[in-house]
Amino acid sequence: MLPMPNVVPTPPTFQDEGQARIRALRKAIAGVLRSVGAKLDEPQEISRGFGLDKTLAWKLSRLVLEEDALASVVHAPRLPGLLLFEKAMNKAGASKEHLSELRDAIVGFEQFVEDHAGDRDVMEIMVTTPPQRAGANSKRLEQFRKDGFLANSAIWGVSTKVHLAMRWVGPSTRPGYLDLITACGFVSFRRLRNDIPWTVGTLIHWGNLRSVSHQLLPGMGVSGNIPLIPDFCSKPLPDLITVRESEFKMRIMIEPGPVGNVAAADIILGWMDRETVPMRASEPGEKGEHGAILSTPSELLLHDVFVHKDLGFAHTPTAQMYGLMPGGPSYPPTDIPAQTLPVPCELTEIDSSQATPEVPHYAELVQRVMDALGWNSADFRGYRLRVKYPPIPAMSLIRHALME
């Protein structure tokens, strides 16, 4: 008889074991609660009836009733809470069989956490951050991003309340081409250390643009070669300089200076690229793309794109956020697919004349740009991506179809 080969068992995957362990815990909790006459969807009654903390009772109810088993991990009480629950159920007269099932499920679940994550905090990250779960876990992901905002503010020594990125897309006087107008900048940008210079805007070629010799917006003014929109900047402005990195890239930087709210600044830049971008796709599937590079700790990102009503092909835009971590997969993709980030990216349609409380004089800024180009705001439809505490370094990208 031939010897049997040594078969090394395949360890269970995080997904498979996680589903099994959390389902066992949910089943055991539901079973022991039903056995003592408790209603799963009434956490207040569970709290009052069995002397449990209100938060603990709420977590138990959410854990059991959450539709997505693996996503329900975020509601699972920590071990001391689970043991308090077990003690309360024993006092309430739950059967030995139900209590034994509960104890086995608790032990199995805690071992799963230890094996795959090491602790609950890491486990929550593992179950909430996959892109397919971003929508369902939006609140938890926002808290992660807020923690990152605070950490990055401390590390880099700067922060801003609003990162504003705006783009207008209209038909050009040159047949078959588009005019692009850009406004961008920061609202309430603050240094948190006085030795920090920082990039507040980058002029870079995008798609078919082949230089950074962008045109100034008519009547907007300029400081040196810095394309400011002065009526929407704070006064006095901090010292700004330009750094040209290449033929295709120029950075606008704020110099070191005073810190905190008393030295906070609104810095809004603007320029236009006329008759430069074809409205037809040069190859199947090519999209019009409007990106904002995110590298500053921000409380809020507002990424707005306004599209002329005559460009019907462009009125179903989508948004995505990509990581730009050096050395990792970034946008645009090469041989390695770009890294999409777990950030909800739903676009909302906005009125070009509506007020935006986070940006002083937002409607006036939109109108000023329209007037500079001789455009009518009623001819444009706006699309907005709003993200609290956007991750850095990253790129926010709004894309739409081009003409075939």
Of residues 17 and 154, more confidence is placed in 154
Q: Is 381 found in the same domain as 336? A: yes
Of the candidates 325, 332, 317, the residue with the CA atom closest to the CA atom of residue 205: 332
For the chain, give the percent of residues with pLDDT over 70. 91
Q: Taking 70 as the threshold, does the pLDDT of residue 208 lie above it?
A: no
User: Which of the listed residues 108, 128, 148 is the one where a domain comes to its end?
Assistant: 128
Strand 298-308 and strand 158-171: the pairing is parallel
Paired tokens of 379: 């001819």
Residue 82 lies in a domain: yes
Q: Provide the pLDDT confidence category of residue 222 given band limits of 50, 70 and 90.
A: low
- Spacing of C-alpha 191 from chain mean position: 23
Q: Are 107 and 86 in contact (CB under 8 A)?
A: no
Q: Taking 80 as the threshold, does the pLDDT of residue 333 lie above it?
A: no
Paired tokens of 337: 């697919």
Q: Are 255 and 239 in contact (CB under 8 A)?
A: yes
- CA atoms of 243 and 273, how far apart (whole Å): 20
Phi-psi sector, 221: left (phi>0), alpha (psi -120 to 50), beta: left
Q: Taking 70 as the threshold, does the pLDDT of residue 5 lie above it?
A: no
DSSP bridge partners of 399: 289, 318
Of the candidates 350, 260, 358, 336, the residue with the CA atom closest to the CA atom of residue 304: 350
H and E: helices and strands count for the chain? 8, 12
Residue 5 lies in a domain: no
Q: Residue 209: what pLDDT? A: 47
pLDDT in tens, 349-358: 998 778 899 9
The mean of the pLDDT values for the chain is 88
DSSP state of 233: S
- From the CB of residue 169, how many other CB atoms can be counted at a distance below 10 Å? 21
Q: Are 251 and 245 in contact (CB under 8 A)?
A: yes
Residue 269 lies in a domain: yes
User: Which of the listed residues 59, 94, 128 is the one where a domain comes to its end?
Assistant: 128
Residue 339 lies in a domain: yes
Mean predicted confidence (pLDDT) in 97-121:
93
Q: Taking 80 as the threshold, does the pLDDT of residue 341 lie above it?
A: yes
- From the CB of residue 403, how many other CB atoms can be counted at a distance below 10 Å? 13
Mean predicted confidence (pLDDT) in 36-63:
93
Q: Is 183 found in the same domain as 94? A: no
Q: Is 237 found in the same domain as 101? A: no
Paired tokens of 102: 């509960």
Torsions phi, psi for 121 (to 5 deg): -60, -45
Residue 314 lies in a domain: yes
For the chain, give the percent of residues with pLDDT over 90. 59
Paired tokens of 18: 């996680």
Residue 21 lies in a domain: yes
pLDDT in tens, 164-179: 999 999 998 889 999 9
Q: 167 lies in which domain range?
A: 139-401
Residue 87 lies in a domain: yes
Q: Taking 70 as the threshold, does the pLDDT of residue 9 lie above it?
A: no
Q: Is 397 found in the same domain as 299? A: yes
Three state DSSP letters for 61-114: HHHHHCCCCHHHHHHCCCHHHHHHHHHHHHHCCCCHHHHHHHHHHHHHHHHHHH
Residue 7 lies in a domain: no
- Spacing of C-alpha 225 from chain mean position: 33
Which of 198-202, 205-209, 278-282, 361-365 has the least mean pLDDT?
A: 205-209
DSSP 258-270: --SGGG-EEEEEE
Mean predicted confidence (pLDDT) in 107-117:
92
Q: Taking 50 as the threshold, does the pLDDT of residue 246 lie above it?
A: yes
Contact partners, residue 205, CB within 8 Å, separation at least 6: 211, 212, 248, 249
Torsions phi, psi for 138 (to 5 deg): -60, -40
DSSP bridge partners of 349: 383
Q: Are 216 and 178 in contact (CB under 8 A)?
A: no
Which of 18-27, 67-76, 98-107, 227-236 has the least mean pLDDT?
A: 67-76
Total residue count of the chain as it appears in this document: 404
DSSP state of 132: G
Q: Residue 395: what pLDDT? A: 95
Q: Is 202 found in the same domain as 249? A: yes
pLDDT in tens, 274-317: 888 888 988 888 899 999 999 999 999 999 999 999 999 999 99
- From the CB of residue 52, how many other CB atoms can be counted at a distance below 10 Å? 22
Q: Is 221 found in the same domain as 118? A: no
Handedness of CA 86, 90, 92, 94 (dihedral sign): positive
Q: Residue 211: what pLDDT? A: 44
Q: Taking 50 as the threshold, does the pLDDT of residue 271 lie above it?
A: yes
Cis peptide before 131 (omega within 30 of 0): no
Q: Is 212 found in the same domain as 83? A: no
Paired tokens of 298: 């921000």
